[in-house]
């Protein structure tokens, strides 16, 4: 069964600190993995997208890693800001179907 699991479910950090979010997936055949940020009441916005051959990709203070052998990904946020408070969703695309399999997300709260 195609599944995407994320941890932790929620996280509270102080402004300026770093954090790492985890994603494990069992989607097969794998096409790509992306991380989305969803602010409360808004649609998800793509942060990074990685294919099978990529193992790291950065977007400003966001750095995503991918280990296709262990089927794990992480999203590292550096020097967090209050505006980083959101739900971060790991999404995996299955080859040939264009179907996106969503994790339930990690709810991040950055406190001053």
Interface positions with other proteins (CB under 8 A)? 31-32, 36, 41-46, 49, 51, 89, 93, 95, 97-105
Backbone angles phi, psi at 82, to 5 degrees: -55, -35
Nearest approach, Cβ of 77 to other proteins (angstroms)?
19
Distance CA 82, CA 90 (A): 21
Nearest approach, Cβ of 104 to other proteins (angstroms)?
4
Contacts of 9 (CB under 8 A, 6+ apart): 104, 106, 107
Nearest approach, Cβ of 102 to other proteins (angstroms)?
5
């Amino acid at each position: 069964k195609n599944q995407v699991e994320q941890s932790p479910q929620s996280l509270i950090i102080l402004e300026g600190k770093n954090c790492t979010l985890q994603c494990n997936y069992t989607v097969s055949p794998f096409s790509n993995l992306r991380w989305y940020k969803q602010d409360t009441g808004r649609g998800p916005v793509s942060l990074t997208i990685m294919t099978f051959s990529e193992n790291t990709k950065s977007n400003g203070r966001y750095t995503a890693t991918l280990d296709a052998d262990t089927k794990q990904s992480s999203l590292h946020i550096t020097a967090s800001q209050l505006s980083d408070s959101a739900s971060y969703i790991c999404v995996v695309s299955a080859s040939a179907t264009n179907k996106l399999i969503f994790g339930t997300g990690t709810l991040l709260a950055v406190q001053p």
